[in-house]
Amino acid sequence: MKTKKLTLSALLIALGTLTGHIFYIPVGVAKCFPIQHTINILSAVILGQWYAVANAFVTSLLRNILGTGSLLAFPGSILGAFLAGFLYKKTGKKTMAALGEVLGTGFLGALVAYPVAKLLMGKDVAMFFFVLPFMTSTIGGTIIGYGLLKALDSSKLLKNNK
């Protein structure tokens, strides 16, 4: 089972890294990336909380190395992945994973992005500047991820995975 999880994890990281230069929305210094939120939801539910966090970190790192991401990818994606995985683990409900992703990225990640932008990137922005773009990005990606999970449920593919 561990080999399956590592393989799926690698596939999701590759998907997130390769699509990073195509499917993003530039908002000032941020590059909002809805596909990351889709990956966070899928990782949290299918692989578990810590795989989701690791996938978010590695994807953000690779995107930054390749120049298709910004430092703001780290707080948004990692906090969203953590909260999605945590709430799913506690409740077993995919809706709670989706809520965790939206709150983790759209609100908490956006607030943590402020000191990252100010201190590490030298950008002077308002404290709540990133909430709207992060929220918009995560809602779109979360809807896609939740829809994919429902489709996987209907096809019984998830039941065979656990």
Task: Kindly report the backbone phi and psi dihedral angles of residue 20, in degrees, each rounded to the nearest multiple of 5, phi listed first.
Answer: -60, -30
Residue 63, both tokens: 């995107």
Per-residue pLDDT of the chain (162 residues; tens, 9 = 90+): 799 999 999 999 999 998 877 766 666 656 667 899 999 999 999 999 999 999 999 999 998 899 887 788 899 899 999 999 999 999 999 999 999 999 999 899 988 888 887 777 777 776 777 788 888 888 988 999 999 999 998 887 666 554
Residue 26: count of CB within 10 angstroms of its CB: 10
Distance CA 85, CA 40 (A): 8
* Residue 51 per-residue DSSP state: H
Q: What pLDDT shows up at residue 11?
A: 96
Q: What pLDDT shows up at residue 107?
A: 92
Q: What pLDDT shows up at residue 129?
A: 77
Largest CA distance in the chain: 49
Angle between helix 49-66 and 73-91 (nearest 10): 170
26: helix, strand or coil: strand
Q: What pLDDT shows up at residue 32?
A: 66
Cα angle, residue 35 at apex, residues 51 and 152 outer, rounded to 5°: 70
Distance CA 80, CA 101 (A): 4
Q: What pLDDT shows up at residue 27?
A: 62
* Residue 69 per-residue DSSP state: S
Q: What pLDDT shows up at residue 124?
A: 76
Which pTM does this prediction carry? 0.86
Q: What pLDDT shows up at residue 159?
A: 67
